[in-house]
Structure 1
Amino acid sequence: MDMEKETLFEQIKGGLIVSCQALETEPLYTKEGGVMPLMAKAAAMSGAVGIRANTVRDITQIKQVVDLPVIGIIKKDYPGTPMYITVTMKEVDELVACGVDILAVQGTGALRPDGSTSAQFIRAIKAKYPDQLLMADCDNFENAMLCAEAGADFVGTTMRGYTPETQGINDIDFEFVHKLAAECPAKIIAEGHIHYPEQAVKALEAGAFALVVGGAITRPAEITARFTGAINAMHK
């Protein structure tokens, strides 16, 4: 293992990675960017160990203002597949070119537009870019194991609750994190449905190598909705 990778592992181990993303439908989205780097600065200021970001523009702008490792993705819809996180080699090439520290791809059971599985795609990326650290955004144990065996350095619980196979799971699944930490050869990143600091701590206690929190920190509309939803339910 080269020193650079070891340094990065040390840097993020046991820490909080903050996802700084705004899709076009969200109030914090601006065409020219500039907003997510401010989110990243705020996260860095308060001790975040890394940033997760979407699009070459945001990744590039974020890397200019914070000195933290970046997990990069490109979200894009393709006809004929539910896959949307770094789906094809075109996105991979763009992410590698802009210098992502960790490249994240969807690691669920659906097939990519060319008919390849997540494991086949990960093998192809590792063959083309052997030194690139790679994270697979998974939903269940089977897919996590397949992605890790294919060479993913990290497995995230990102997609749990967001695929047909895991429908109805709306909370962070600590038992799932624990099982992955015990049996999966990749480093486990807890991501998805983490709303409170206590849950973050519990995910690390369950064996997560590090964790990603996004919506609860960087999506004001979502945070507001949690409050108004609770208040509205009280008034019923």
Structure 2
Amino acid sequence: MTGLLHSLRGGLVVSCQPVDGGPMDRPEIVVAMAAAAVAGGAAAVRIEGLGNLRAAREAVTVPIIGIIKRDLADSPVRITPHVEDVAALAGAGADIIAVDGTDRHRPVPRAALVSAIHEAGVLAMADCATPGDGAACRALGFDILGTTLSGYTAETAHLGSDPDFDLIAAFRAQGAFVMAEGRLNRPDLVARAMRAGADAATVGTALTRLEIMTGWFRAAMTAPEPGR
């Protein structure tokens, strides 16, 4: 597993997650996204959903970070919340399984999830929001700390639109393998994340969510001129 982390160090991960229910939300398109990302130099891809994961596994040889998203009635945790999800993702071909690593009410403790991931023989990634999340997950044995959920929890909702470079630096200081993720929507922001201490960086929306990116460009065309 050390070799897998070595292969990711300094690499770009592309999150191939179309807008839910959108016209690109089909396994064959997710596969095409993954293959195109690899052709462009991606060191790994991040894939949501078992059907998408199985299809992508047949198409690419780079490592795959697998997740399952669920909307739970009794918990804000969405990313791979159940032990059963871990087993399913490992069986579908994930090399790394990411779970919500925040300290929020959840159906399964983080310790149970990381144990299940390692028992499945794959690496465990914690999608975190705060330095405290990272410290707790590192102590539990997670192999990768991601800044994925910074800005997307009640505790961090006040943060601005830029990536959380301070959190990247905090995880670096903790001695973790750091995956920068979240709001990395320009190449210069990815470069800054690496300078802040990230080992690798994940980009999603700017590369794979065409509806959102189109909206950004369209809004820029109608925005008032600065200073007016």
Q: Structure 1 length normalisation: TM-score?
A: 0.90
Instruction: Quote the residue 2:64 is aligned against.
Output: 70
Q: Give CA deviations for 1:96-121 in whole Å, capped at 9, x if unaligned.
A: 111210000011121212xx443x33
Alignment partner of 1:38 out of 14, 29, 32: 32
Structure 2 CA distance, aligned partners of 1:132 and 1:67?
Answer: 15
Instruction: Quote the residue 2:25 is aligned against.
Output: 29
Quickly say closer, same or farther: Cα 1:91–1:122, change in 2 above 3 A: closer
Q: Displacement, 1:228?
A: 1.4
Instruction: Quote the residue 1:96 is aligned against.
Output: 90
Q: Structure 2 length normalisation: TM-score?
A: 0.93
Q: Give CA deviations for 1:6-42 in whole Å, capped at 9, x if unaligned.
A: 3212211111000001243322113xx2110100111
Alignment partner of 2:15 out of 19, 24, 42: 19
Alignment partner of 1:208 out of 198, 222, 227: 198
Instruction: Quote the residue 1:173 is aligned against.
Output: 164
Alignment check: 8 A CA contact 2:87 2:117 kept: no
Structure 2 CA distance, aligned partners of 1:49 and 1:155?
Answer: 17
**Counterparts of 1:96-115 in structure 2 under 5 Å?**
96-113=90-107
5+ residue gaps, structure 2, are none
**Counterparts of 1:1-236 in structure 2 under 5 Å?**
5-30=1-26, 33-113=27-107, 116-118=108-110, 120-125=111-116, 128-129=119-120, 131-169=121-159, 170-183=161-174, 185-234=175-224
Q: Displacement, 1:159?
A: 0.3
Q: Displacement, 1:126?
A: 5.1
Structure 1 CA distance, aligned partners of 2:20 and 2:215?
Answer: 18
Structure 2 CA distance, aligned partners of 1:105 and 1:229?
Answer: 33
Alignment check: 8 A CA contact 1:122 1:151 kept: no
Q: Displacement, 1:178?
A: 1.2
Structure 1 CA distance, aligned partners of 2:106 and 2:11?
Answer: 32
Moved over 6 A (4+): none
Alignment check: 8 A CA contact 1:49 1:68 kept: yes
Residue 227 of structure 1: SS of its match in structure 2? helix
Q: Give CA deviations for 1:145-185 in whole Å, capped at 9, x if unaligned.
A: 101110100010000000000012232021221121112x4
- Matched to 1:56, the amino acid is L
Q: Percent identity?
A: 34
Structure 1 CA distance, aligned partners of 2:44 and 2:118?
Answer: 26
Structure 2 CA distance, aligned partners of 1:23 and 1:230?
Answer: 21
Structure 2 CA distance, aligned partners of 1:143 and 1:90?
Answer: 23
